[in-house]
């Protein structure tokens, strides 16, 4: 539910420039984009859900794409990037004895973040591949720093002799692909199937570790 979407609530509460109608339009747009995708959502649907005339949307936003960018781009720069980094730093800043312990904490951390902010995350995942502006925002404000810190951790565990020697960014890619592949399947692609979260988390971690662990 949107009431549980922490990023959205922060944006609406902190932005004094937005009118009440704009807030209603943004909430309605997020619901619709999240449910149906950007391309399949019409401005008339958003207007109906927001309880405003369609012309009201175009008084504030010239096009549907402007509406999308007004929602996601400011969140990326103002709220989403620091929120993601602050949240993920709870794991990156801790010292774990093993890479396996680090992965387990990372899965749980990202699971909590995804569940709390599902509508916004769905829009990002749907639209970043097709919207260059959003893709650049994500790379600049989120991906660069996160991947750099993740790579430093990989190098730490390689130096301890726990992981095989390979370029650290390759190890990050393999680890992140497994973690986010599991979480996306669990919460976005096939959430309706019966999931044993504890078992699937452990399988994901072991899948990564069997590929990266140094042979005894």
Q: Higher model confidence: residue 213 or residue 54? A: 54
What pLDDT digit, counting tens, does each position of 2-12 carry?
Answer: 444 555 666 56
Residues 120-166: tens digit of each pLDDT:
788 777 777 777 777 887 787 777 888 888 999 999 999 999 999 99
Which residue ranges form the domains of the chain, and what is each CATH number? 2-212 (1.10.357.10)
Query: Mean pLDDT lowest for which of 31-35, 43-47, 164-168?
Result: 31-35
**Averaged pLDDT, 55-82:** 73
Average pLDDT, the chain: 82
* Rounded CA separation 135/73 (Å): 9
Q: Where are the alpha helices (DSSP H) in the chain?
A: 6-14, 20-36, 43-50, 54-60, 64-74, 81-92, 99-116, 118-127, 132-138, 144-159, 168-184, 197-212
Res. 75: pLDDT tops 80: no
Q: What is the pLDDT of residue 15?
A: 56
Which among 16, 4, 208 has a CA at the least distance from the CA of 121?
Answer: 4
What would the mean pLDDT of 67-71 be, rounded to a whole number?
Answer: 75
Instruction: Say how many CA atoms lie within 13 Å of 202 toward its Cβ.
Output: 3
- The confidence score (pLDDT) of residue 161 equals 92
For 164-212, write each residue's pLDDT tens digit.
999 999 999 999 999 999 999 999 889 999 999 999 999 999 999 998 7
Task: Residue 184: name the closest of 114, 92, 116 by CA.
Answer: 114
Condensed to tens digits (0 to 9), the pLDDT of residues 89-106 reads 788 888 899 999 999 999
pLDDT number for residue 82: 59
When pLDDT is averaged across residues 77-90 and rounded to a whole number, the result is 64
């Amino acid at each position: 539910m949107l009431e549980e979407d922490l990023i959205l609530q922060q944006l609406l509460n902190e932005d004094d420039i937005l009118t009440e109608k704009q807030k209603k339009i943004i909430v309605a747009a997020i619901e619709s984009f999240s449910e149906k995708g950007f391309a399949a959502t019409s401005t008339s649907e958003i207007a109906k859900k927001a309880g405003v005339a369609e012309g009201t949307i175009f008084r504030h936003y010239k096009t549907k794409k402007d509406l999308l960018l007004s929602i996601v781009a400011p969140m990326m720069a103002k709220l989403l990037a620091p929120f993601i980094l602050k949240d993920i730093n709870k794991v990156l800043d801790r010292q774990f004895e093993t890479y396996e312990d680090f992965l387990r904490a990372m899965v749980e951390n990202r699971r909590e973040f995804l569940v709390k902010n599902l509508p916004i995350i769905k829009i990002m995942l749907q639209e970043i591949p097709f919207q260059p502006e959003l893709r650049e925002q994500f790379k600049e404000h989120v991906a660069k720093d996160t991947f750099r810190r993740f790579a430093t951790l990989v190098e730490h565990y390689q130096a301890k002799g726990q992981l095989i020697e390979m370029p650290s960014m390759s190890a990050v890619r393999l680890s992140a692909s497994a973690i986010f592949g599991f979480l996306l399947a669990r919460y976005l692609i096939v959430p309706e199937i019966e999931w044993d979260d504890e078992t699937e988390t452990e399988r994901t971690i072991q899948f990564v570790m069997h590929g990266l662990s140094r042979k005894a």
